């Protein structure tokens, strides 16, 4: 039970919240499972390397790791690590092209869900 004795005498003030309002706000800010999943993706894309790779993959049909490393001026190991994380999130996919492993964006509904989620934040100027 929340002790709100500090708020006594503040009824009518803008900062006063009734118990029912507190309960309502608690429900409203709770994350749905889908929102939690989207936040994980946003967190991953906040990493510069992962974001650059994702942006690069938006501009090509598929590309091998070595070319990604060259374009981004990163080690192949760093790129492979970032690609692995993006693959685990379901954002990209890998396929063999002879001896090469090529990466491409995965056809998924995650992007449209991300757009809706970001729009729900109502970020304005």
- Concatenate the DSSP letters of all residues of 49-81 into one string: HHHHHHHHHHSSS-EEHHHHHHHHT--HHHHHH
- The CATH number of the domain where 97 resides is what? 1.10.10.10
Q: Quick count: other Cβ atoms within 10 Å of Cβ 50?
A: 22
pLDDT tens series, the chain, 125 aa? 567 767 777 777 777 888 888 888 888 877 777 778 888 888 888 899 999 999 999 999 999 999 999 999 999 999 999 999 999 988 999 999 899 999 999 887 777 777 777 777 776 55
The total of structural domains in the chain comes to 1
By residue range, what is the domain housing residue 53? 33-120
pTM as predicted: 0.70
Enumerate residues 6+ apart whose C-beta is below 8 A from 76.
Answer: 65, 66, 69
Instruction: Quote the pLDDT of residue 21.
Output: 84
Residue 28 contacts by C-beta under 8 Å, 6 or more apart in sequence? none
């Amino acid at each position: 039970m929340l002790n709100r004795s500090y708020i006594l005498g503040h009824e009518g003030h803008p900062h006063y919240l009734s118990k029912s309002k507190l309960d309502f706000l608690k429900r409203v800010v709770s994350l749905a499972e889908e929102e939690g999943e989207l936040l994980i993706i946003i967190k991953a894309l906040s990493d510069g390397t992962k974001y650059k790779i994702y942006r690069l993959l938006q501009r090509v049909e598929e590309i091998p790791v070595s070319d990604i490393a060259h374009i981004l001026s990163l080690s192949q190991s760093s790129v492979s690590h970032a690609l692995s994380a993006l693959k685990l999130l379901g954002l990209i996919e890998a396929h063999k092209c002879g001896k090469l492993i090529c990466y491409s964006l995965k056809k998924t509904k995650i992007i449209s869900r991300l757009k809706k989620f970001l729009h729900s934040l109502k970020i304005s100027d």
